[in-house]
Amino acid sequence: MNQIIRPLPIRPEPPVSRAEHERLNGHRSLVLWFTGLSGSGKSTLIHTLEQRLHAAGKHTCSLDGDNIRHGLCGDLGFSCQDRSENIRRVGEVSQLMLNAGLIVLCGLISPFRADRNRVRELMPAGDFLEIYCQCSLETCEQRDVKGLYRLARNGLVPEFTGISSPYEPPESPDMVLDTENESVEACLQKLMALLDGRI
């Protein structure tokens, strides 16, 4: 029995171009991808940054691991394969939002370099900024806002990044934020400086 091969559909050109969206919004679109261990401050930073950008009249959208896992990726677990698929989906959504003229703020552990690099390759050069929230495992465990590290240490959360599954730090991120030692405000000032002239 012959297998039916279905070719991938060609991506259609949007009826309104990215440039037209950007012109209407009054700023360029961009993807900021925050990566780091659970508890390293990714969600705090993207939500605070989004508020600041919104107050400045910028059109934004934040995608963090929690809101993604409740909907778009609610069918995925935490195996290496599922983690890669989670990042692939968020990358595709980020690209769509980029083309719609938005500043997209993604906060995901995204533990594997190869997955993050694949997302970068989806975007035009310069439109994907990788932000590494650098924080030691010890400090993240002390924070343990969601109680996940305690559960992982007790064997109740399998394949937990930093405990029973690896995290691969970025080798050449666009910015490193020392979220262990610097305040949220200090990190925000660095992010705003990074965005100056880019949006």
110 included as an active-site residue: yes
Q: Would the CA dihedral through 178, 183, 189, 191 be positive or negative?
A: positive
Encoding tokens for residue 68? 């993604």
Say how far apart CA 149 and CA 154 lie, in whole Å: 9
Name the E strands within 67-157. Answer: 103-107, 128-134
Question: Could you write out the DSSP letters of every residue in 7-43?
Answer: PPPPPPPPSS-HHHHHHHHTS--EEEEEE--TTSSHH
Burial class, 35, CB count within 10 angstroms (exposed 0-12 / middle 13-18 / buried 19+): buried
Encoding tokens for residue 21? 């969206």
Count of H-run helices and E-run strands, the chain: 8, 5
Out of 110, 136, 164, 183, the active site residue is 110
Angle between helices 113-122 and 80-99 (to 10 degrees): 20
Please give, one letter per residue, the 3-state secondary structure of 75-100: CCCCCHHHHHHHHHHHHHHHHHHHHC
**Active-site positions?**
110
